[in-house]
Amino acid sequence: MKRTSLLVGIAFVAFIILSQTGAEAINRSFEQRFAGSAAVGDSGVYNFDKAHSFIGFKVKHMGLIEVPGFFRDFVGTVNFDAKDITKSTVEFTAKATSVDTGVTGRDNHLRTKDFFEVEKFPDITFKSTKVTKKGKGYILTGDFTMKGVTKSITFPFQIAGWVPANEKAGAKMGIVAETSINRRDFGVNYGSNMPNGVPMLSDIVKIDLQIEANGPKPAAK
């Protein structure tokens, strides 16, 4: 019995340490993954193409698997400087009520005060404050606001590719970015631990951006 209690205690301490460092470790892996991004293409203002973009998240359930979700309604812009990407800016707004995990009952629960509290806090926003070069890649830093709480977060990212402008359409750019946050930092505290000490819902939430953005259409000749 004493040995079992000792093992449980050690496991619980390890869990606390890992939960505190989880977001930092995940973000370091994101930085490594996106270390080879390069800036090409045309400067200008690019608007998120909602039909071909994705703002999603994943949360681990019962320590077993990651449950995905996304937001159906959002807008965003990239003010891109091709000559000096560190002068670029990014901002987006996701409508919290548009959350979709594929299960109606769960989505309705996510809209309550246990999670997003959409009637009081309808928008989830990000507005960049700086872009920095790190190795061959870039890090996007900005103010992330959810449930009335604003904190600075970072997105390691890469330019996934470009489609040049033609006579009928403006240029297109692709952006891929990932980060993680601790939901409790933003007042989302719902959930408790199971008897083995593992949380029903992880504190760490992974955020995934897959963005296709459209530049201005060429002027008519």
Low-confidence ranges of the chain (pLDDT < 50): 1-20, 26-27, 30-39
Instruction: Identify whether 74 is part of a domain.
Output: yes
Residue 221 lies in a domain: no
Looking at the domain assignment, is residue 219 inside a domain? no
pLDDT of res. 35: 44
Bridge partners for 146 per DSSP: 149
pLDDT recorded at residue 8: 41
* pTM, to two decimals: 0.80
pLDDT at position 218: 72
Q: Is residue 63 part of a domain?
A: yes
Give residue 136's domain range. Answer: 2-214
Provide the pLDDT for residue 131. Answer: 97
Q: How far does Cα 209 stand from its chain's mean position?
A: 6
Q: Look at residue 29 in the predicted model and tell me its pLDDT.
A: 52
3-state secondary structure of 92: strand
What CATH number corresponds to the domain at position 106?
Answer: 2.40.128.110
Which structure tokens are listed for 183? 């939901």
What is the number of structural domains in the chain? Answer: 1
Q: What's the pLDDT score for residue 216?
A: 82
